[in-house]
Structure 1
């Protein structure tokens, strides 16, 4: 990561997203750990991006910061996605576990990658009109293959051993973060039961579960609210293409 210093102090960092480069076929960077967003800071970001040969710069920022929004727009950024961060203390979740989860076998991998590629339609890259949708989908395919290689995915099977869906969650201290939840299209109508099973399976670990959902993804928003999640914060994702 490259520190962005102003008046001798670090105001944030510019991170090279080589993982996104691979999927999108362009040089991608992201502004992270920024303290404030203003015109001077974004000019420094531009200078660094020009030296790196960046084609796309991303930044996720508080949705209620109007001054930052103005600075982003005046610097040539576009708002591509709105998202909310949810949280739920697992001890408070009251649901039904309709499915059990197991580690996927190698013969499941191609189907899981296909589900991730075809079923996920909401992300800052899917919602950026300047990024071809097939490249945004390819990013999920690469991500799923990486998660499978790291043994972080768990799946549910029906009585015929057909994949119902999968989830990926990571431990963050005493809490957990839900990264991905996906359903096979043949079981799309069972979404609420599947999510309930995911949260019930996480319950023995205690703590809270966190999740981020695009506000364009109405079904996922409804499921989280019905499950008792509360909103921690809302964010906008800004992109600048060079």
Structure 2
């Protein structure tokens, strides 16, 4: 499209409008969004001057904090009878995902109807299943959750609602991290967590992850979504 706008087809399929992420934070890049119909995402330093974001119609969506963990620095928390498997029913994973991921930035975007945000996360998890990047967590032969990963990135970690609040979150996260180290061979892992999810952030910090900065995420809608949202 332009040197400033990068199409994001994985979002377009959910919102039925062209979607883009901005390649840089400059007035020239922001001005391109006034000339193009679509939904836009930009990530900026939390200390950046945001006057031009307001000028060009961008609004705050979320903040992403990046925890980083080095293999030799992390605490291992053991939990008996945890197993990982690639053999699972797709719908079981999707059911956990839909119930667990309801506070993401697209759910918080007042221009995106909740059903579209739900569809986006469902399609993302479907893609991860198709790429064989999800492992189910079993506890006593029952599906207790799942985690998704890619290279050194921890993408998603979710527990079934029946296993939440039982003091298992840290052991589950520790087991997932150690399994990812084993599968990928990386000695450093990283993830992104919104401060609206302090429970998850606290789990990673308790394992020895260190915070490596943050970015603020802003959105803009120039046009109308297909369903009038």
Specify if TM > 0.5.
Answer: yes
Query: Contact 1:104 / 1:153 at 8 angstroms: preserved in 2?
Result: no
RMSD of aligned alpha carbons: 1.6
Using the TM superposition, give the Cα deviation of residue 218 of structure 1 relative to its aligned residue in structure 2, in angstroms. Answer: 1.3
Using the TM superposition, give the Cα deviation of residue 40 of structure 1 relative to its aligned residue in structure 2, in angstroms. Answer: 3.4
Match of 1:21 in 2: 12
Is 1:216 aligned with 2:196? yes
**Separation (CA, whole Å) in 2 of partners of 1:229 and 1:129:** 32
The match for 1:144 among 118, 125, 128 is 125
For the residue of structure 2 that corresponds to 1:86, the secondary structure is: strand
Using the TM superposition, give the Cα deviation of residue 203 of structure 1 relative to its aligned residue in structure 2, in angstroms. Answer: 3.4
The match for 1:227 among 186, 192, 207 is 207
Match of 1:168 in 2: 148
**Separation (CA, whole Å) in 2 of partners of 1:24 and 1:40:** 25
State TM-score, norm by structure 2.
0.88
State TM-score, norm by structure 1.
0.83
Is 1:203 aligned with 2:191? no
Using the TM superposition, give the Cα deviation of residue 216 of structure 1 relative to its aligned residue in structure 2, in angstroms. Answer: 0.7
Using the TM superposition, give the Cα deviation of residue 41 of structure 1 relative to its aligned residue in structure 2, in angstroms. Answer: 3.2
The count of corresponding residues between Structure 1 and Structure 2 is: 216
More contact order relative to length (CA 8 Å, sep ≥ 6) = 2
Is 1:124 aligned with 2:105? yes
Q: Which runs of 5+ in 1 are unaligned?
A: 5-12
Which shifted more, 194-203 or 177-186? Answer: 194-203
Match of 1:185 in 2: 161
Q: Against the structure 1 CA distance between its residues 127 and 138, is the aligned structure 2 distance closer, same or farther, given a 3 Å change threshold? A: same
**Separation (CA, whole Å) in 2 of partners of 1:135 and 1:186:** 26
Match of 1:57 in 2: 40
For the residue of structure 2 that corresponds to 1:60, the secondary structure is: strand
**Separation (CA, whole Å) in 2 of partners of 1:170 and 1:139:** 19
For the residue of structure 1 that corresponds to 2:211, the secondary structure is: strand
Query: Contact 1:96 / 1:200 at 8 angstroms: preserved in 2?
Result: no
Using the TM superposition, give the Cα deviation of residue 225 of structure 1 relative to its aligned residue in structure 2, in angstroms. Answer: 1.4
Using the TM superposition, give the Cα deviation of residue 46 of structure 1 relative to its aligned residue in structure 2, in angstroms. Answer: 2.5
**Separation (CA, whole Å) in 2 of partners of 1:117 and 1:24:** 17
Using the TM superposition, give the Cα deviation of residue 113 of structure 1 relative to its aligned residue in structure 2, in angstroms. Answer: 0.7
Q: Which runs of 5+ in 2 are unaligned?
A: 223-229
